[in-house]
Amino acid sequence: MSIVNLRNMEINQTGIVSSVNVSGELGRRIRDMGLTKGVAIAIQGRAPLFDPIAIRLRGFTLSLRNNEADFIKVEVKDQEIN
């Protein structure tokens, strides 16, 4: 297991949110949409210009900008190193 930045996750990769380190309006919005510590997420896709990112959690799809995803750390399974 390792901790990565949400921005750096690949499409279809899954993981568990380990921290959401932002307060104020952005932090509140992120948490209100259910992106809280311990929630399981999967990367659903990226916009044609690679930003924003679309993720699947709690049974719905959420999109957020890359610079907003930066505040979110996700625990993922280690990838096989070739």
Partner 1 sequence: MAQTSVALGGNPNSGKTTFFNALTGARQHVGNYPGVTVEKKEGFLSYKGTDIHLVDLPGTYSLTAYSQDEIVARDYLTDTKPQAIINIVDAANLERNLYFTVQLLELGIPVCISLNMIDAAKKRGMSIDDKKLSRLLGAPVIPTIARSGKGKQAVIEEVLALVGNSQNNEKFKISYGDDIDRALIDMEKIISDNQFLTEEYPIRWVGIKYLENDSQIITKGNQFNTAISDHLLEIGNQLTKHLNVTLDTYPEALIADYRYGFINAILKQDIISRVHDENKLLLSDKIDKVVTNRLFGPLIMMAVIYGLYHFTFTYSEIPVGWVGGFFEWISNFTSSHLNDGLLKSLIVSGVINGVGGVLGFVPLIMFMFFGISLIEDSGYLARVAYMLDRVFSIFGLHGNSVMAFIVSGGIAGGCAVPGVMASRTLKSPREKLATILTVPFMNCGAKLPVMALLVGAFFGKNEALMMLIITLIAWTGALLTAKLLRMTIISGPSTPFVMELPPYRLPTLKGLFIHTWERTWQYIKKAGTVILGISIVLWSLMTFPGLPDSTLAQFDAERQAIRSEVSVNITDELKKADQDNTIELSTAALLVKKALTKVDLKEAGIALKNSFAGKIGTSMEPVSKLAGFDWKTNIALVGGFAAKEIVISTLGTAYSLGEVDPDDASSLGDKLKSAPGWSPLVALSLILFTIFYAPCFVTVVAISKETGTWKWGAFSMVFNTTLAFTISLLVYQIGSFFGLLAG
Q: Which residues bind partner 1 (CB under 8 A)?
A: 19-20, 23, 25-34, 36-39, 42, 44-45, 47-52, 54, 56, 58-65, 68
For the bound state, the minimum distance from the C-beta of residue 77 to partner 1, rounded and expressed in Å, comes to: 16
Check if the beta carbon of residue 6 is closer than 8 Å to that of residue 65.
no
Query: Would you give the DSSP letter of residue 50?
Result: S
Q: Among positive and negative, which fits the CA dihedral 69, 63, 33, 3?
A: negative
50: left (phi over 0), alpha (psi -120 to 50) or beta: left
Considering the complex, state which of residue 50 and residue 82 has its C-beta at the smaller distance from partner 1: 50
Considering the complex, state which of residue 16 and residue 33 has its C-beta at the smaller distance from partner 1: 33
For the bound state, the minimum distance from the C-beta of residue 60 to partner 1, rounded and expressed in Å, comes to: 5
